[in-house]
Structure formats: structure tokens, C-alpha cells
Amino acid sequence: MSKFRTMLFLVSAICVVGGAAKADSMVTITLDTDPLVGNVAGPFSIFLEFSDGSGIGDANNTVTLSNFNFGGGSSLGGPIVFGGASGSIETGVSMTDTSFISVFSEQFAPGLQLSFSLGLTDNDDAGGTPDRFSFFVLDSSGVPIPTLAPAGDYFLGADLTSNGPVFDVYGSDPSRPLSVGGPVSIDAPIITSSPEPATGLLLGVGLMVAGLVRSNLRRKK
């Protein structure tokens, strides 16, 4: 089989696989953590909560977090998991709603910013209440950094639905001090779209095919 035909075969195979796979939502979350560098309230912890809307632990949705970048900081190891949570900051985190609530927590030394890839499935939950993912930052006493969220002091929340996730984000509340030390001013997290893995692979193969076609055309001239 020629190189050209081989590349066309790869494109066709990826299209079939991509069409058969269920598309999940994938975004990148970026949070400014510069105000936490050297703060007396440290060390801080990432705290993740995934609640099952049906309350029965039907395991119909999964949240994954990967590609953690601390902008000059680092993870400190030793995750705490509960329910359907597993993994670590270093290897990636997975949370499935196998129980009413699943929890993940791990300490980190803050750098200029914290970013990670967030993947979410998009299944509706029975009863009309969506599964919900929430992201907090805890201080050394285990208390969330105060935010402007209406309840719960989370920086980011996401309701999982068949129409895609519904996000709400909040910055810190500068009118309320941390449980250790004074208040901090942190902007709400930034959410940016991330390409689906299959889409990125297909684009890369497509570019290779285009390059091969141009090369063949030049040789025939």
C-alpha cells in the first residue's frame, strides 16, 4: 500500500472511531493563585466535590481532571479520596457519581496560576436534578477560601446535562478574611475550550495528508 493510500486509510479509520465515540465536553480551567504565594494561610489544598443529582449513586457521569500546571508551584502529594473519586494531581483525577457525594483533596504549593484540563460527560440524571461538580481551594485549616458564590464558597461549579455543562464561576470575596490571615483578591477562574482528542488527532492526520498530496504533485510536475 502506498504512503498516500495508507494516510487515507488512517483518516477513514479515525473518522469511524470519532463518529462512534460519545463526545464529552473538555475545557481548560485557569485560576490566578499569585495572591496565595507565601500566604500565611498555606499550605493550600485543591478540594473537588461531585454530587449525584438522583441521590442513588447511579454512576451515569464522570469528571476527569488532568494536565495540572501550578505556574511555578507544585503538588505536595498524599491525596484524600471518598466515594467514586480516585487518582492524584500527579497522575490525573477521576470522579464518578457512584455514591451520593464523591470527594477529592490534595495539598499544593501555589505558583502564579493553577490550570488543568477538565472533562465532563453529558448525561441527564433521573428526577431532573443534574449531577454537579464543584471546585474549591482550602486553606491550612481545611476551610474554603471565601468566594462570592451564593453558597458554598466554591470558585467553579458545573451542572452536567445532555446539552453540555452549565458553568458558574466566582472570584474570592475580599470582604471576608481567610480563617488564617487576612482576605485575598482572586479573580474568577477562566474557562477556555479544549479540542477533543479525536478531533486533534484527525486534524494532525489531515495536515499530514495535505502535505503528502502537495509533495506528490510537486514530484509529478
pLDDT in tens, 131-144: 999 999 999 999 99
62-69: strand order across its sheet: 85-88, 92-96, 62-69, 113-120, 25-32, 190-193
Q: Can you give the pLDDT at residue 126? A: 86
Looking at every residue in the chain, the average pLDDT score rounds to 85
Quote the CA–CA distance of 133 and 162 in Å, as a whole number: 15
Cell of 137: 481551594
Q: Can you give the pLDDT at residue 219? A: 56
Distances (CA, A) of 31 to 87, 112, 152, 169: 21, 9, 18, 11
Domains along the chain? 24-196 (2.60.120)
The model's pTM is: 0.80
Max avg pLDDT among 53-57, 169-173, 198-202: 169-173
pLDDT in tens, 178-188: 999 999 999 99
Quote the CA–CA distance of 147 and 136 in Å, as a whole number: 9
Confidence label for 216 from pLDDT (cuts 50, 70 and 90): low
Distances (CA, A) of 202 to 27, 72, 76, 101, 127: 19, 33, 37, 37, 38
pLDDT in tens, 95-134: 999 999 999 999 999 999 999 999 999 999 988 999 999 9
What are residue 164's phi and psi, to 5 degrees? Answer: 105, 165
Question: Angle at the Cα of 201 (from 113 to 25), degrees rounded to 5?
Answer: 55
The pairing of strands 101-109 and 113-120 is unpaired
Residue 175 contacts residue 153 (beta carbons within 8 Å): no
Confidence label for 212 from pLDDT (cuts 50, 70 and 90): very low
- 59: alpha, beta or left? (left if phi > 0; alpha if psi -120 to 50): left
The DSSP annotation for 6-53 comes to HHHHHHHHHHHHHHHSPP-EEEEEEEE-GGGTT-TTPSEEEEEEEE-T
Helices then strands (H, E): number in the chain?
Answer: 2, 13
Rounding to the nearest 10 degrees, give the CA dihedral for residues 148, 149, 154, 156. Answer: -100
pLDDT in tens, 67-76: 999 999 999 9
Q: Can you give the pLDDT at residue 57? A: 93
Q: Is the pLDDT of residue 21 over 90?
A: no
